[in-house]
Amino acid sequence: MKSSALVFLAAFIALSASWGGFVLAPQLQLGRAAQVKTVPAQDNYPVARPGLAAQGAEVYRSLGCVYCHSQSVGQDGVNCEIVLTDAGTNGAATLAVLGKLNAALARADTLTGLPKVLMSVADMNAADPILKALGSAGAKAQVVVSALGPDIARGWGRRRSVAQDYLYDSPVQPGTRRVGPDLANVGVRQPDVNWQFRHLYAPTSLVPGSTMPPYPFLFAERKLKPGQPPSPNAIPLTAAGVFFDVSKDTGPADRELVPTDEARSLVAYLVSLRAEATLFESPFTAPAAPPPPATNAPAK
């Protein structure tokens, strides 16, 4: 009896500890997560997906896309660079500060051709005293932070994925393997909905050698009568079934593809995947926005 009681007690403690570690602790850490502010814009992040995109998440799941595409960008490290943006009015004082940091920087040409990368540092903590020293000499500098890793180099994201990115996703679909490219940031890489429609219908027409299966059942193919205008948002085809751009090609089209509601919602979901906000827990320096066009100049 004593032996049975001890076995039961040991099993109960083991199961309780496992439940606490794998269920209770994550719930306490992430279950009460809320929107955070982006850095430095202070925008709320993330926001819930629009209704059509939310429906598209279910289409994405039903088609099994999650088994071939991940939505989780990895990161190996961070590169922090000190960039001199303004030498100030006292060049001698700025050069004196730079000479203390690195004797090779104490040259007059260091202050020309700004902005200029001065050095790399380990992290933001190492950058702070350098920025303060340059500021005391009247110069201005900033830290440019960039993420490092194979996923970043492939262009799949600007930073690693974090739990905050999935706050409004239910169910969360980070994926199981990568037969195709990661989609965490596909809405930034491929925001053109027409490209997405064409890719769904015939992947190899846009990505030669793609192993992605086509999804023609997401479209209705229709015959066009001579002189009949295409349907709104239709995708034109040539007689041979090859895509062409109606804004550039002059060949006649006698057929069109009309995306179904499922196709529209799926594409809305894909272009909504934009995990690009700069967060305190996963920072990077976003590129500066282009200046507004001059008066009466066409927007680019």
The greatest distance separating any two alpha carbons of the chain, rounded to the nearest whole angstrom, comes to 91
- The DSSP call for residue 243 is B
Give the mean pLDDT of 275-280: 88
Quick check: is 70 in a domain? no
- Give me the CATH number covering residue 133: 3.30.1390.10
Quick check: is 222 in a domain? yes
Quick check: is 298 in a domain? no
What was the pLDDT predicted at 225? 77
Whether the predicted pLDDT of 294 surpasses 80: no
User: Where among 148, 170, 187 does a domain terminate?
Assistant: 148
H runs (alpha helix) in 121-249: 124-136, 150-153, 186-189, 193-201
Quick check: is 16 in a domain? no
Domain that holds residue 227: 196-262
- Of 109-118, 143-152, 272-281, 286-295, the range with the lowest mean pLDDT is 286-295
Whether the predicted pLDDT of 180 surpasses 70: yes
Q: Which two tokens stand for residue 7?
A: 């076995």
- Strand 77-86 relative to strand 116-121: parallel, antiparallel, unpaired? antiparallel
Quick check: is 107 in a domain? yes
- DSSP secondary structure string, 117-137? EEEEESSHHHHHHHHHHHHHT
Quick check: is 98 in a domain? yes
Quick check: is 162 in a domain? no
Number of domains in the chain: 2
What was the pLDDT predicted at 240? 46
pTM of the model: 0.79
Q: What is the pLDDT of residues 191-243, one digit of tens each?
A: 998 889 889 988 988 899 999 999 989 988 777 777 777 777 777 665 445 55
Quick check: is 155 in a domain? no
Whether the predicted pLDDT of 248 surpasses 60: no
Whether the predicted pLDDT of 58 surpasses 60: yes
